[in-house]
A = this chain, B = another copy of it.
Amino acid sequence: MYKNAATRVAVLGASGYVGRELVGLLDGHADVALAFATSESESRLDGRDLIPLADAEGRWDDARLVFSCLPHGVSAPAVGRAEAAGARVVDLSADLRLSDRAVYGLTEVYRDALPEADLVANPGCYPTVAVLSVLPLARAGVIDTTRPLIIDAASGVSGAGRNPRRDLLFGEVAEDFRAYSAGNEHRHLPEITRQLAAVAGAVDVVFTPHLLPVRRGILATMHVPLARELTRVEAEAILLEAYGDEPCIRVLPGALPTLKDVIYRNRLALGVMPVKHVSRPMLTVVGAIDNLVKGAAGQAVQNMNVMCGFPETRGLAC
């Protein structure tokens, strides 16, 4: 496509599912050009050369902003070298999400801090959907924080990466469904509780992810204990008040979202339903995102757009 006077960017770890999605989004972005992209396992991606990470060392100067899609643990050192070379960084790994050194890149929440940020920790996919879905209710003070918040979420296989594993073979995943990291053992839990605590104070969370036989998308069904009864319209009004002007969040009045509402889009879709026949008030909230887009590469581009002063949805289908 025709490019404006372009900001040069780099992608570290371009051959995984997130990296490929990100390179595709950057290709269609009018204000940036890809300086280089790295991969340890592949040398070509859709007609473009990939270089080993080691070869990036001489080329940091060529990139104003570096995206790291490297694996957890591998990312932080590379991010450090990019920073040392003067590049701004969006780190899509988990390495810096619990650190105070980086701005937590949940765009709708930390938008004001992004223009000055040199280091952004892009949120995990589950925390993105969970925190954004519940935050307006927490801010409105309607959550009963003495009872646990239950989050049952299901993700497509791209969340587990592209490395060969028997349990991710088509023959194992198709026609199957399973819970994993049950009992609050998933590493995304601290990210969720930390973000909620900042707004609502400490709250018990029970977070159980599941593996879906789909390629992409996360649907989270959240059961929120309420401090007082809310009608469906009242609950929707709280979400609409918070998100009515957000270009990447859709509150669906009178409906619950499905994966189809969000896949291939940088969008969170949200719906609510009060729970009948229970003695203390509860609200079921359902949120859906594409784990590769709003849950990873798309939100990274959204963050870059705010960091660099581009229109926030440039290059994104929301």
**Could you list which residues of chain A lie within 8 angstroms of chain B, going by C-beta atoms?**
17, 28, 147-148, 150, 152, 154, 156-158, 162-166, 168-180, 182-185, 189, 193, 204-206, 208, 210, 212-217, 219, 221, 223, 256-260, 263-264, 273-280, 282, 284, 286, 317
List 4 extra interface pairs beyond A157-B169, A164-B165, A208-B221, CB under 8 A: A147-B147, A157-B170, A169-B170, A175-B215
11 contacts between A and B (CB under 8 A): A17-B171, A28-B317, A164-B165, A168-B169, A170-B215, A174-B214, A176-B214, A176-B217, A177-B212, A210-B219, A213-B213
* Shortest CB distance A195–B (Å): 15
The reply to whether B276 and A175 form a contact with Cβ atoms under 8 Å apart is no
The reply to whether B185 and A148 form a contact with Cβ atoms under 8 Å apart is no
Report the Cα distance A189→B277, complex, angstroms.
10
Q: Which of A223, A274, A317 is packed against the most chain B CB atoms within 10 Å?
A: A223
Known contacts A256-B178, A284-B208; A171 and B148 CB within 8 A of each other: no
The reply to whether B221 and A260 form a contact with Cβ atoms under 8 Å apart is no
Report the Cα distance A158→B278, complex, angstroms.
30
Chain B residues whose C-beta falls within 8 Å of the C-beta of A172 in the assembled complex? 162, 170, 260
The reply to whether A219 and B178 form a contact with Cβ atoms under 8 Å apart is yes
Give the number of times this chain occurs in the complex, counting copies: 4
Report the Cα distance A58→B154, complex, angstroms.
48
The reply to whether A217 and B177 form a contact with Cβ atoms under 8 Å apart is yes
Known contacts A28-B317, A176-B259, A182-B273; A171 and B150 CB within 8 A of each other: no
Report the Cα distance A309→B219, complex, angstroms.
43
The reply to whether A148 and B286 form a contact with Cβ atoms under 8 Å apart is no
Report the Cα distance A171→B156, complex, angstroms.
9
7 tightest Cβ-Cβ pairs between the two chains A and B: A183-B273, A178-B258, A170-B173, A164-B164, A152-B152, A182-B273, A184-B276
Q: Which of A17, A177, A286 is packed against the most chain B CB atoms within 10 Å?
A: A177
Known contacts A183-B273, A278-B148; A154 and B177 CB within 8 A of each other: yes
* Shortest CB distance A158–B (Å): 5
The reply to whether A179 and B256 form a contact with Cβ atoms under 8 Å apart is yes
The reply to whether B158 and A162 form a contact with Cβ atoms under 8 Å apart is no
Chain B residues whose C-beta falls within 8 Å of the C-beta of A164 in the assembled complex? 164-166, 169
